[in-house]
Amino acid sequence: MTNSPEEKIPDLPPTTTESESPLAAPDPEEPSDVLDRDTYDTIREPRSAGRLPLGDGTWHQLARQYVWVQLISIGVVFLIVLAAVLFVTLVWGQWWAWIPGGIFLGILAWTIIITPRQARAYGYQLRRDDLVFRRGILWQRVVAVPYGRMQLVDITHGPLDRGFGIAQLKLVTAAASTGVVIPGLKQEAAEQLRDTLVDVAEARRTGL
Amino acid sequence: MSDLPSPSQPADAPAAPVAQARVAAPKLSDGEWHRLHPLTPLFRGGLVLVVIAGIVIANLRDRLVFLFLPWLDDDIDIDVEVEEWRGGDPVDFIIANNLYLVAGLAVLGILLVLIGLFYLSWRFHTFRITGDDVEVRSGVLFRTHRRAPLDRVQGVNLTRPMFARLVGMAKLEVVGAGLDSNVKLEYLSTSNAEAVRADILRLASGRRLAEARADAATAPGGAGPTRRAAAASVVSAGINGLISGAEEPVGEPESVVHIPVGRLIASRLLSTSTLWLIAIIIAIIVGSIAGTPWVLFSLVPALIGFGAYWVRTITRSLRYSIAPTPSGVRITFGLFTTITEILPPGRVHAVEVSQSVLWRPAGWWEITVNRLSGRGLADGANDQFATVLPVGTRDDVERVLRLLMPDLPENEWPLVFEHGLLGPRPDDPYTNTPRRARVLRLLSWKRNGFLLLPDALLMRRGAIWRKLAIFPLARLQSIGIEQGPVDRALSVANIRAHTIAGRVYSRLGILDRDAALAAFEGIEAAALAAASRDHSHRWAGEAAVGEPFSPVPERNPLPERELPVPEPVEGSPAPGEPR
């Protein structure tokens, strides 16, 4: 599902709303419990004192089901690779297959181990004029996107995602490097977030 | 080349009779559907025809020699007794069976079909320019309809390939905001292309077209001369244009930068590719001494390749000019294929001034920009459109930057030039890499830093390859801050400005964590403020009708003596010069 705010009002003058139409703009900061239903409640951070701090404001987090979806999909790949390696070694007797297979399986196992930690490190904050997104523990990344810069909000969900009722929300600006992808939102939360973002983006649209 | 005065120019320009005759033709930007130049299929399909002709000629070479130069060749004997098709020469078969008429008719038929197809595709290829967008319809069976909204126009390019230039035609490209989103009008007669470009930019700027109409109406229209005379004068004008450079409507400002040919060639020779060439030559010579001498022969293709590359880069940058116009910065370059691009205000997303260590003794700099070129990612021409100043002295850099960033206040320019390009100086205003983390920026840690101005973010990097990246905050898409494990141990962080894709590197590493966090918040707030002030998508919309928009503020006149006087061959012909 894709919403392009651009098509609706191509000629909207580039105004910010603070001075001119404060009532027309929905307030993104308005607390909404749909976003926080069944999610994690604390952001996982690195322990070192030199980390990028959380700052103030409330962070919304991912739904708990996201971890299960990730674990299942990685686990399936793990089992397939394991079966292939076992087949090659036991049936054909090619023992060297353990070298690439072992490396691959090791990486997959490590991914499975850190997935729950990683999922807790995702967070997003709806501030007055921008959305702040953070992810990562070892490699931390924080991005702030002004609402007016959004070109597109994209929601995708695969079959497994649908089974667990979650979706992935992608936020597209004119810069490819922005790269804000929020995986694992509850479907209602994703839809509400999308509607909020589109409304706010429309009200604060600026040029490219 | 004498053309009709662009509608922004009043009719006092000396125009040739042909040009006047063309003014009398209906304007192409009146909101109706129009067709392209009738010779368009010849140039677009011309390549295919040339290839086919080449294949035919190559296959019938002996036969043609025999036909036209019979005394040269006695070896070809035509076997007249061939009666049936035996997989031999088809021409022999035709001659033997006396099928001249059939063969002639077949060739004629194919030609007619081809011409018919070209004619159809030309007839169905129409364009329209309205107050809100540019539309192009094309295709006979599969119709395509492309529409570009004018308030998203990123620039208009006028390309004049050598052969099209000879007959006075040009290719107009309206640059849209997206990958492969350009609307191309190829080909138009040069004068029409100029007029259409001026109209598109005027419409996009938010000014009223009525203005242009009034101007055009004052242009003298008259009965045109005969078609043949018109064609002849078009060709001669094209040749003049080829000699004298890109035509500029009279009265447009002169280029603010003049690049001597010597400097251009020297700068291309002093590039990193030269270092690579030298390294390859040394490797080959060593290889030939240590191993087999035959390796030496691989030098030849390498040298030819590099030679072609140099010639191409040099001819591409020859006849460079950059000048302010009412609708933006106009950049012209190219010796054989001349490209004139107009970059409206507020279409530059990032600027980088860089200087390699080889250029430092001469004090030369290069300027590249990030802009939307509307082409696919793999398009080789992207690089060309990214370079705004191929090589220039500090004064040139100053003039070009003032054109590109007209909004920067006068008191902030020293921060760009003194501290940004040449820094660090004493009492450096930039926030630099902390001393504790200098191990991560061994050479450049004193220079590696940023400065946040109300309208722009400056990132200064590199001790050997000096670079200064300038990001107009009104164009900044988003801002990111990153930190890896090593950074965390040293309590530093990296900031990254997210702009549209381009050659400008937008990441600045190893800054003090608290400074980086403060910058993150500060840049975000400043970007929001700048974006709300920005009205450049309809850049002249608020300006009163008739009041010319000036991208160059009057507060920074440069000393007169520094302005180069372009020689007639290099730049535009001086106004009033007889043509």
Confidence (pLDDT) at B304 = 87
Average of per-residue pLDDT across A180-206: 88
CA B222 to chain centre: 35
Give the strands of the sheet with B155-160, arranged side by side.
B183-189, B169-175, B155-160, B338-343, B328-333, B321-325
pLDDT-derived band at B253 (thresholds 50, 70, 90) equals low
- Could B500 and A144 be called an inter-chain contact, meaning their C-beta atoms sit closer than 8 Å? no
Confidence (pLDDT) at A19 = 39
- Same domain? For A130 and A39 the reply is yes
Residue B505 domain-assigned (yes or no): yes
Each residue of B155-172: pLDDT tens digit? 888 888 887 888 888 888
Residue B386 domain-assigned (yes or no): yes
- Same domain? For B375 and B505 the reply is yes
Q: What SS3 state is found at B341?
A: strand
Residue B82 domain-assigned (yes or no): yes
In the block, tokens 């609708």 appear at B327
- Same domain? For A128 and A199 the reply is yes
- Same domain? For B356 and B504 the reply is yes
Whether residue B464 has pLDDT greater than 80: yes
pLDDT-derived band at A143 (thresholds 50, 70, 90) equals very high
- Same domain? For A134 and A34 the reply is yes
User: CA of B275, closest CA in chain A: separation in Å?
Assistant: 32
Q: What SS3 state is found at B465?
A: coil
Highest-pLDDT range among A143-157, B238-252, B541-555, B557-571: A143-157
> Of B215, B159, B208, which is closest to residue B182 (Cα–Cα)?
B159
Burial A32-61 (b: 16+ CB within 10 A, else e): eeebbeebbeeebebeeebbbeeeeeebbb
Using the Cβ of A128 and the Cβ atoms of chain B, whether some distance falls under 8 Å is answered with: no
- Same domain? For B298 and B388 the reply is no
Q: Residue B464 maps to which CATH number?
A: 2.30.29.30
A14: which chain B residues are within 8 Å (Cβ-Cβ)?
531-532, 534-535, 537
Please tell me the distance from the alpha carbon of residue B279 to that of residue B295, in angstroms, as a whole number: 15
Q: What is the mean pLDDT of chain B?
A: 76
Residue B557 domain-assigned (yes or no): no
Residue B260 phi/psi, 5-degree rounding, is -65, 145
User: CA of B317, closest CA in chain A: separation in Å?
Assistant: 29
Range 78-107 of A in CB contact (< 8 A) with B: none
pLDDT-derived band at B380 (thresholds 50, 70, 90) equals low
Residue A143 domain-assigned (yes or no): yes
Please tell me the distance from the alpha carbon of residue B2 to that of residue A197, in angstroms, as a whole number: 54
Measured at the alpha carbon of residue B173, what is the angle toward residues B530 and B476, in degrees to the nearest 5? 15
- Same domain? For B457 and B522 the reply is yes
Please tell me the distance from the alpha carbon of residue B481 to that of residue B477, in angstroms, as a whole number: 14
pLDDT-derived band at B526 (thresholds 50, 70, 90) equals very high
Higher pLDDT, residue A77 or B575? A77
Confidence (pLDDT) at A109 = 96
**Domains in chain B: how many in total?**
3
Enumerate long-range contacts of B301-304, CB under 8 Å, 24 or more apart: B302/B277, B303/B277
> Of B363, B512, B505, which is closest to residue B437 (Cα–Cα)?
B512
Assembly ipTM: 0.82
Q: Give the number of other Cβ atoms within 10 Å of residue B263's Cβ.
A: 17
Residue A34 domain-assigned (yes or no): yes
- Same domain? For A133 and A40 the reply is yes
Whether residue B13 has pLDDT greater than 80: no
For the CA atoms of B494, B499, B504, B505, the dihedral, rounded to the nearest 10 degrees, stands at 20
Residue A199 domain-assigned (yes or no): yes
pLDDT-derived band at B221 (thresholds 50, 70, 90) equals very low
**Domains in chain A: how many in total?**
2
- Same domain? For A33 and A128 the reply is yes
Residues of chain B with pLDDT > 70: what percent?
74
- Same domain? For B116 and B265 the reply is no
Residue A196 domain-assigned (yes or no): yes
Residue B247 domain-assigned (yes or no): no
- Same domain? For B279 and B385 the reply is no
Q: Give the number of other Cβ atoms within 10 Å of residue B447's Cβ.
A: 23
Whether residue B249 has pLDDT greater than 60: no
B520: which chain A residues are within 8 Å (Cβ-Cβ)?
142, 144
Please tell me the distance from the alpha carbon of residue B3 to that of residue B246, in angstroms, as a whole number: 11
Identify the DSSP state of B573. P
Residue A164 domain-assigned (yes or no): yes
A51: which chain B residues are within 8 Å (Cβ-Cβ)?
483, 488
> Of A75, A78, A67, A65, which is closest to residue A163 (Cα–Cα)?
A65
Residue B185 phi/psi, 5-degree rounding, is -115, 95
Using the Cβ of A52 and the Cβ atoms of chain B, whether some distance falls under 8 Å is answered with: yes
Residue B154 domain-assigned (yes or no): no
> Of B133, B122, B117, B226, which is closest to residue B177 (Cα–Cα)?
B133
- Same domain? For A129 and A185 the reply is yes
Residue B2 domain-assigned (yes or no): no
Nearest CA in chain B to A143: B480
Task: Report the residue count for chain B.
Answer: 579
- Same domain? For A79 and A128 the reply is no
A46: which chain B residues are within 8 Å (Cβ-Cβ)?
488
Residue B545 domain-assigned (yes or no): no
B480: which chain A residues are within 8 Å (Cβ-Cβ)?
141-144, 177-178
B374 φψ region: left (φ > 0), alpha (ψ -120 to 50), beta (else):
left
Average of per-residue pLDDT across B82-99: 65
Using the Cβ of A139 and the Cβ atoms of chain B, whether some distance falls under 8 Å is answered with: yes
Q: Residue A195 maps to which CATH number?
A: 2.30.29
- Same domain? For B403 and B276 the reply is no
Please tell me the distance from the alpha carbon of residue B522 to that of residue B316, in angstroms, as a whole number: 41
- Same domain? For A82 and A108 the reply is yes
Q: What sign for the dihedral angle of Cα A108, A113, A116, A121? A: negative
Residue A198 domain-assigned (yes or no): yes
- Which of A115, A134, A155 is where one domain is finished? A115
- Same domain? For B502 and B392 the reply is yes
Residue A147 domain-assigned (yes or no): yes
Please tell me the distance from the alpha carbon of residue B271 to that of residue B284, in angstroms, as a whole number: 20
- Could A208 and B517 be called an inter-chain contact, meaning their C-beta atoms sit closer than 8 Å? no
DSSP for A83-136, please give it.
HHHHHHHHHS--GGGHHHHHHHHHHHHHHHHHHHHHHHH-EEEE-SSEEEEEE-
- Could A206 and B531 be called an inter-chain contact, meaning their C-beta atoms sit closer than 8 Å? yes
Q: What sign for the dihedral angle of Cα B403, B404, B406, B409? A: negative
Helix or strand run (H / E) with residue B324: strand B321-325
- Same domain? For B267 and B363 the reply is no
Contact A70, A104 (CB under 8 A): no
Range 518-547 of B in CB contact (< 8 A) with A: 520, 524, 527-528, 531-532, 534-537
In the block, tokens 């604390």 appear at A42
- Same domain? For B307 and B376 the reply is no
- Could A129 and B528 be called an inter-chain contact, meaning their C-beta atoms sit closer than 8 Å? yes
- Same domain? For B355 and B476 the reply is yes
In the block, tokens 């003039």 appear at B399
CA atoms within 13 A on the CB side of A166: 21
- Same domain? For B360 and B288 the reply is no
Each residue of B343-374: pLDDT tens digit? 888 889 999 999 999 999 999 999 999 888 77
Q: Give the number of other Cβ atoms within 10 Å of residue A198's Cβ.
A: 19
> Token pair for residue B121?
């595709």
Structural domain range at position A161: 2-9+28-44+57-62+124-203
Identify the DSSP state of B72. G
Residue A208 domain-assigned (yes or no): no
What contacts A88, CB < 8 A, 6 or more positions away? A94, A97, A101
Residues of chain A with pLDDT > 90: what percent?
53
Nearest CA in chain A to B537: A207
Whether residue A9 has pLDDT greater than 60: no
- Same domain? For A146 and A94 the reply is no
Preferred mutation among A18, A56, A142 to probe B, highest tally of B CBs within 10 A: A142
- Same domain? For A102 and A148 the reply is no
- Same domain? For A75 and A168 the reply is no
> Of B21, B253, B43, B237, which is closest to residue B159 (Cα–Cα)?
B43
A147: which chain B residues are within 8 Å (Cβ-Cβ)?
none
- Same domain? For A39 and A131 the reply is yes
Each residue of B390-447: pLDDT tens digit? 999 999 999 999 999 888 888 888 888 888 888 788 888 999 999 999 899 999 999 9
> Token pair for residue B33?
């559907």
